Chains A and B, each alone.
Chain A
Amino acid sequence: MKVQIMKSTGMQEYQVPTLSPSMTVMDVLDYVYTHLDHSLAYYRHSACNQGICARCAVKLDGKTVLACAAQVPEDTASIVIAPSSDKVVRDLVVDRS
């Protein structure tokens, strides 16, 4: 799957394998951060990953979702992940204060 991430430095493209038919956006971001790009900033500190804390919002193909709760459809060829607002701290992390 082609994954395009709107980083602070511009759009970056990654190739991510389908690890499961029911991957979440957070699974995709975790894969990119862990295996491809340790510099990626996405909301991952004190995170519940269960849709409880509701702090990991991003835009998936233009629609705001919680990364931990939004599933990537099984046959998706490419996705675009962008910050959820214009108040970008770095990459996908935004100021929500």
Chain B
Amino acid sequence: MTMHTVVSDVLVIGGAGSAVMSAVSALRQGASVTLVSKGKVGKSGNTIMIGGSFGIDGESARSFCGEPEANQEYTRAKLFHKLVTSAFQIGDQRIERHFVDEAPRAVAELLGWVKDSGQIFKFMPKASRWRTSGRAFGNALRHGLKAHPAIRVFEDTMVTDVLTSGGTACGALGFDVYSGQMTCFKAKSVVLATGGYQPFSLQNSISDMTGDGIAMALRAGAAAVDMEFLLFIGTILEPFYAKGSLLPYLLSIPAMFSLRPKMTALDGEELPFPDDPRYRVKPADAKVNKLLMAYFYGKGMWPNWDTYGNAFYYDYSAYGDEEIRQAFRAFADSQKSWHRPGRYHRIDLQQLAGDIIANRKRLKVGFGNEYSMGGVVVAPTFATDVPGLYAAGEVTGGMFGAFRSGDGLTEMLAQGATAGKSAADFARTAPQAEADDLAAKVAWLEAPFARQEGLSPVDALAKLHAICDRGFNFYRSGALLARAYAESQELRASLDTLALATSSRHYNLEWMQSVMVRNLALCAEIGLHAALERKESRGTHLREDYPEVNNRDFLLSYTARIQGDALQYATRAPQEVFLPLDRHNYPTVADCIAQTILENA
């Protein structure tokens, strides 16, 4: 097959917030820019999957974003402190500071696109947050991109590898998913804005959250960090028409849904959440509840993990049928600015209320992985270790450390703006180099077509999900992690035998998955290795055999990179750039949250 070639100064890979902000920012610096997205811009990526809001500090919401009622007690200093403590101190304080400093300008730019495109974002002054929907956010991004027609856009194009010349990034290889046509995107610098990784069968994220950017960066020579930290959130398991919805998290917020369910194991045993003022969260810190819920409910679920696995009930049996129907009517009413009447995305809320009532007033829920804190190691300029290669948004590590209580949407806008500028600065003096690894990358991509028989990517992906469901879930033990790590190594080794059911290159889903499963397996193996080594609990890494937050021995991050054909692991300690580090241990993650995050909120 012939290879198409596209040349530009800066290549941006991704289809949502980080990518659009990076592209616009690079263009503003005078660079010629190409943006390549696996799906449709603004209709793909995890951005469109958001539950409903994002924010910045109250001072900046007033001064940069024209919100006079914004809560002035939620200061820049408080936001920074929250980011550092929520990361359980292993975030990069320079990148956390960048978030506080640069997000207001980037959010203000987005709000301009929101206004111009007629999307609805509603400001909540007390929490200093804007309520919206994923669709509205995506539409605003799409508008922002269209407002800059000089950016060349390739959609439904899957990038499979960063290309290098003498160790410097010089473009990427990709193919059009409909025609299979391969393209060499030549560039003087490259920005990865491709999102995180999610290796479990329960999906609440976009379908392809397969760590593509992280794996591409690793193969190009960059490092990854904090890959054991995955954020989980209540996600519907049944009924099937609602499976994967993040609705349970919204239903747990008193301001959004009036009924308070009892959480129970599948056998009806209550999963306790202590009624303790130490765990009460303020509106601006509401996301801390995600981790508290995983901690307390996970603790209750763990004794029966072998029997019931990752499943529990939201039990509304304390309420009458009409109370339940009415609560869902009121919730639907609160959502009508963004959803069709009576619906939350695809879900008919009265049908759901009826099915909950019919199921003895219970909604079956599991903890689904919505965000990965770990990712590519970046400097405060968002440069990776590979010259010419930059990264922004969820694909990076260092911003949220062990737990994200800040907003991924805000992160991607702020980091995208800086990464795009840095990449354009680099491109100004860099040559347009010829890749020295194009042939090898093409061979890697095409290898599954050449095999007559072998492992199907579909089956490989199912195996990987099963391994991670069992051993790498939101509650962990050394024994299960050790088994999952060994299985993941074995699986990744078997991916050299991938073969496809059809040789057609026209929308060959198996071919796409042959790339994605290789990326995801690499990310999962690195995450499992770090999770096994980290013999403590910290943030979203909840170990039943090591419940203590052990700052004396584990105030560090695990990093990984590829050397030769092997993964090499190392550790790095966080630096006290702005705030001193707390070296005390805490008996549990919940105690650490109460004493370091909520007490100072």
Contacts and interface: CB of A to CB of B under 8 A. Distances in A.
A15 to B, nearest CB: 19
Nearest to A91: B507
Interface string B18-45: 0000000000000000000011100111
Interface size of A as a range: 35 or more
Given A22-B240, A47-B207, A89-B178, A52 B501 contact: no
A76 interface: no
Nearest to A95: B178
B38 A45 contact: yes
Interface string A84-97: 00000111010100
Contact of B346 (A51, A93, A95): A51
Interface in A17-76: 19-24, 27, 33-34, 37-42, 44-55, 66, 68-69, 71
B245 A45 contact: no
Residue with the greatest number of chain A CB neighbours at <10 A, chosen from B208, B238, B241, B501: B241
Contacts of A24: 240-241
B39 A52 contact: no
A20 B240 contact: yes
Contacts of A90: 504, 506-507
Contact of B45 (A27, A40, A46): A46
B512 interface: yes
B221 interface: no
Contacts of B504: 39, 41, 90
Nearest to A69: B346
A50 B134 CA distance: 11
Given A33-B458, A38-B501, A46-B208, A53 B238 contact: no
Contacts of A38: 456, 458, 500-502, 510
Contacts of A93: 178, 506-507
Given A22-B241, A55-B43, A49 B207 contact: yes
A41 B507 contact: yes
Contact of A53 (B43, B158, B245, B508): B43
Interface residues of B, number: 43
Contacts of A23: 240-241
B177 interface: yes
A48 B49 contact: yes
Contacts of A48: 44, 48-49, 134, 206-207
Contacts of A22: 238-241, 355
Contact of B510 (A27, A39, A42, A89): A39
A20 B345 contact: no
A34 B513 CA distance: 12
Interface string B492-513: 0000000011101011111010
A21 to B, nearest CB: 8
B529 interface: no
Contact of B506 (A19, A49, A89): A89
B81 interface: no
Given A20-B240, A52-B345, A90-B504, A47 B206 contact: yes
Interface in B221-266: 238-241, 244-245
Interface string B425-469: 000000000000000000000000000000010100010000000
A44 to B, nearest CB: 6
A41 B508 contact: yes
Contact of A39 (B40, B48, B502): B502
B203 interface: yes
Contacts of B512: 45
B509 A41 contact: yes
Contacts of A53: 39-40, 43-44, 48
A66 B345 CA distance: 12
B328 to A, nearest CB: 16
A51 B347 CA distance: 8
Residue with the greatest number of chain A CB neighbours at <10 A, chosen from B38, B138, B207: B207
Nearest to B179: A89
Given A41-B508, A46-B15, A51 B39 contact: no
Contacts of A52: 43, 48-49, 134-135, 138, 345
Nearest to A35: B458
Given A45-B39, A89-B178, A93-B178, A50 B49 contact: yes
Contacts of B510: 38-39
Contacts of B134: 48, 52
B559 to A, nearest CB: 29
B428 to A, nearest CB: 32
Residue with the greatest number of chain A CB neighbours at <10 A, chosen from B138, B206, B346: B346
A39 B43 CA distance: 25
Contacts of B158: 45
A27 B203 CA distance: 13
Nearest to B155: A97
Interface string A1-26: 00000000000000000011111100
Interface string B575-600: 00000000000000000000000000
A95 B355 CA distance: 37
A27 B345 contact: no
Interface in B453-492: 456, 458, 462
Contacts of A91: 507
Interface of B: 15, 38-40, 43-45, 48-49, 134-135, 138, 156, 158, 177-179, 203, 206-208, 238-241, 244-245, 345-346, 355, 456, 458, 462, 500-502, 504, 506-510, 512
Given A27-B240, A33-B509, 4 more contacts: A39-B501, A49-B207, A50-B244, A52-B345
27 contacts: A19-B240, A20-B240, A24-B240, A38-B458, A41-B509, A45-B39, A45-B156, A45-B177, A45-B512, A46-B15, A46-B208, A47-B207, A48-B134, A49-B244, A50-B49, A52-B48, A52-B49, A52-B135, A66-B346, A71-B241, A89-B178, A89-B507, A90-B504, A90-B507, A91-B507, A93-B507, A95-B178
Interface of A: 19-24, 27, 33-34, 37-42, 44-55, 66, 68-69, 71, 89-91, 93, 95
Among all A-B residue pairs, the 8 with the closest Cβ atoms: A46-B39, A51-B346, A46-B44, A69-B346, A38-B501, A39-B502, A20-B240, A39-B501
